[in-house]
């Protein structure tokens, strides 16, 4: 059989096809990516070197099998390289991820972070908003405390210098990952990007704290932090945010100097609190100012700050950390936030 000269030669294979093949070659033929392959894949994605159909296939294949610590570490390394050159010399003590949004309770953890900042700890909070309907996102709550999110890495630096706290949306330091997160309503599922963004630590803070709702993901984050040589604490966060729920025991899975440890923090109440009928963000400022009382909220704020203080080495034990956080709360500047 002869072919005419008009036959088309096959197209050369796209470089990203290899990544999809590794993940999707059936039950026996597929395998996870190595850390290096994951790094290469994310570099291509961030450089816009993959086609939309390839990105969709990649995200869903990853979603079905779930990420390994090595894959997460590779993805994070590539992502950090994309924004690291734009970061100045600002020292950050604690990196705090906030991507889930709150549905059942107000984001009391925001007051935990501001309490730490008031006591000399520089906290960079980063997140994204609006990707899941019916949730209250940190960026939307800040104005109720007279604060504004930063619109760039440079503005975040200025806010950190001035107030030791800044909130920076993902779209302002890694817009491609933000675009991918916003595919959730189209794909119908979260993707590996929802996981890796929590590990980004844009200012390379010495410590990182993350709240993860799904139990199977917590040790993966812990192990990925170890691969990234990042001291961190991963806790069972209320609604997926970095917030300790005082009504239940809280497992905190840490990495310190490469050593992994698990620690249980006991519930602070013997009874469960009823969730609020509606979430009114004005209550954050009112509680800080001492104009309203809410034992659940105060226990949440102090309890969450305590986990962070122990991670930061400001306290040697849970009881010491809890006492220090309580002292911070009792001695807070009630006039710090003039709105509410």
pLDDT at 5: 56
Of 4.10.140.10, 3.40.1030.10, 3.40.50.720, 3.40.50.920, the CATH number of 94-330 is: 3.40.1030.10
Tokens linked to 216: 């199977």
pLDDT digits (tens, 9 = 90+) for 206-234: 999 999 888 888 889 999 999 999 999 99
- Band the pLDDT of 156: cuts 50, 70, 90: very high
Whether pLDDT at 1 is above 90:
no
pLDDT at 142: 96
pLDDT at 339: 57
pLDDT at 340: 41
255 pairs with which residues across the strands?
A: 232, 260
- Band the pLDDT of 2: cuts 50, 70, 90: low
- For residues 89-113, b (16+ Cβ closer than 10 Å) or e, as one string? ebebbbbbbbbbbbeebbbbbbbbb
Whether pLDDT at 197 is above 80:
yes
**Alpha-carbon gap, residue 302 to 241, rounded angstroms:** 15
- Band the pLDDT of 131: cuts 50, 70, 90: low
Mean pLDDT throughout 67-94? 91
**Alpha-carbon gap, residue 100 to 245, rounded angstroms:** 15
Per-chain mean pLDDT for the chain: 92
Alpha-carbon distances, residue 243 vs 3, 166, 267 (angstroms): 67, 18, 13
Higher-scoring residue by pLDDT: 92, 239:
92
From 226, 217, 305, select the one nearest 259 (Cα to Cα).
226
Q: Could you tell me what percent of the chain has a pLDDT over 90?
A: 78
Determine the topology of domain 17-85 in CATH: 1.20.970
Coil, helix or strand at residue 233: strand
pLDDT digits (tens, 9 = 90+) for 311-323: 999 999 999 999 9
At 179, phi and psi to the nearest 5?
Answer: -55, -40
Alpha-carbon distances, residue 139 vs 35, 102, 129, 155, 204 (angstroms): 32, 12, 7, 15, 21
Mean pLDDT throughout 87-115? 92
Mean pLDDT throughout 165-180? 96
- Band the pLDDT of 7: cuts 50, 70, 90: low
Q: Which of 178-187, 248-257, 272-281, 283-292 has the lowest mean pLDDT?
A: 272-281
- Band the pLDDT of 205: cuts 50, 70, 90: very high
* Ranges in the chain annotated CATH 3.40.1030.10: 94-330
* Ranges in the chain annotated CATH 1.20.970.10: 17-85
């Amino acid at each position: 059989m002869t072919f005419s000269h008009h036959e088309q030669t096959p197209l050369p294979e796209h470089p990203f096809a290899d990544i999809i093949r590794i993940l999707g070659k059936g039950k026996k033929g597929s395998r996870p990516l190595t850390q290096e392959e994951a790094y290469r894949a994310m570099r291509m994605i961030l450089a816009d070197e993959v086609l939309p159909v390839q990105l969709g296939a990649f995200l869903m294949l990853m979603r079905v099998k779930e990420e390994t610590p090595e894959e997460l570490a590779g993805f994070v390394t590539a992502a950090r390289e994309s924004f690291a050159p734009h970061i100045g010399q600002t020292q950050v003590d604690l990196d705090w991820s906030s991507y889930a949004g709150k549905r059942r309770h107000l984001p009391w953890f925001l007051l935990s972070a501001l309490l730490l900042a008031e006591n000399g700890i520089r906290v960079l909070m980063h997140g994204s908003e609006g990707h899941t309907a019916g949730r209250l996102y940190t960026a939307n709550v800040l104005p109720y405390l007279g604060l504004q999110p930063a619109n760039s890495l440079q503005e975040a630096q200025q806010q950190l210098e001035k107030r030791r706290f800044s909130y920076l949306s993902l779209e302002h330091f890694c817009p491609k990952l933000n675009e991918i997160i916003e595919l959730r309503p189209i794909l119908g599922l979260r993707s590996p990007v929802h996981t890796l963004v929590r590990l980004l630590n844009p200012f390379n803070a010495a410590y990182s704290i993350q709240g993860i709702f799904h139990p199977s993901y917590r040790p993966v984050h812990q192990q990925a932090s170890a691969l990234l040589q990042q001291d961190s604490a991963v806790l069972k966060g209320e609604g997926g945010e970095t917030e300790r729920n005082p009504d239940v025991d809280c497992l905190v899975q840490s990495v310190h100097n490469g050593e992994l440890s698990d620690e249980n923090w006991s519930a602070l109440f013997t009874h469960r609190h009823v969730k609020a009928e509606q979430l009114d963000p004005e209550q954050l400022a009112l509680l800080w100012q001492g104009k309203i009382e809410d034992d659940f909220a105060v226990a949440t704020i102090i309890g969450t700050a305590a986990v962070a203080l122990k991670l930061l080495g400001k306290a040697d034990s849970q009881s010491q950390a809890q006492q220090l956080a309580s002292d911070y709360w009792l001695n807070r500047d009630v006039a710090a936030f003039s709105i509410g």
